[in-house]
Amino acid sequence: MTPSGFVVPDLIDPIIGYRSWTIRVHPSGEPRLCSPYRRSTWQPNEVQVATCGSTNWTSPIGIRPTPRAAPGHEVPAIGCTCGVHAWRSRSAALLDAADTRGLRAVSGEIALWGGVLKHTRGWRGAFAYPQGLTVHAATTDGLCFVFTWESGQLRAVPAEELAPALSDVYGVPVSIDPGEDPLGPLPRYAPSALRLPRTHLGITAEEAALLYPQPSRRRRLVAWLTHSS
């Protein structure tokens, strides 16, 4: 019960919401779903348990923090922005991800349960897990943007590799967006406009370095001059 007397509903049957994620590649070579707003990773085969970070931030689902949340409160709470966030509609989640220059490679459905609060444009829940995912390519030849685990450097991986890898890791169905939904993230980059290093899923960074050695700085310069001439 909150200080105002409002009781957060404890739901047994889950609510289905929608959201998007960035992707980081774990040192094991497996992709991980990551929150685009807060530094948190959705672990595979584990319930996402919401915690309160006691930070004041405006949520994209239309709520703002107020002084009403008592210290040490349960999650989610009235007057705070804590909890796992989800949009009420798929179209809203896609619009939220569309203007991110391809950095959010994945959108999807999540199940929310436990304490759940309803807002104008979405929900906040205590527990969550993905139910189905969609991979969005950032380039016209089907490449997705992902990030390295430690340094967060931008890399590229084919959507046709990322989709089955996510399905194997999280145990949920994963589809590839053909880029036909005008509300969603559309491929906006031509392949020639990007020279991002590729990430190789399913193998460790050490194995990738042996199988795909990086060219020397001189060789990269020669290749760039040859391509540009």
The reply to whether 59 falls in a domain is yes
The reply to whether 95 falls in a domain is yes
The reply to whether 134 falls in a domain is yes
Q: Which domain holds residue 25?
A: 10-228
Question: What single-letter amino acid sits at 176?
Answer: I
The reply to whether 104 falls in a domain is yes
State the pTM of this model.
Answer: 0.80
The reply to whether 4 falls in a domain is no
The reply to whether 2 falls in a domain is no
The reply to whether 14 falls in a domain is yes
- Which pLDDT tens digits describe the chain residue by residue (229 residues)? 333 444 445 656 899 999 999 999 999 999 999 998 877 899 999 999 998 865 555 566 755 555 566 667 788 888 788 889 999 999 999 988 887 878 899 999 999 999 999 988 999 999 999 999 999 998 888 999 999 998 888 999 999 999 999 999 999 999 999 877 777 777 777 765 567 777 778 766 666 666 555 555 555 554 554 554 4
DSSP state string for the chain: --TTSPPPPEEEEEEEEEEEEEEEE-TTS-EEEE-SSSS-EE-TTS-EE----------TTS----TTSPTT--SS-TTS--SEEEESSHHHHHHHHHTSTT---EEEEEEEEEEEEE-SSEEEEEEEEEEEEEE--SBTTSEEEEEETTT--EEEEEHHHHHHHHHHHH-S-EEE--S--TTSPPP-B-GGG--PPBP-TTS-HHHHHHHSPPPPHHHHHHHHHHHH-
The reply to whether 5 falls in a domain is no
Q: Quote the number of domains for the chain.
A: 1
Q: What is the pLDDT of residues 80-130, one digit of tens each?
A: 888 899 999 999 999 888 878 788 999 999 999 999 999 889 999 999 999
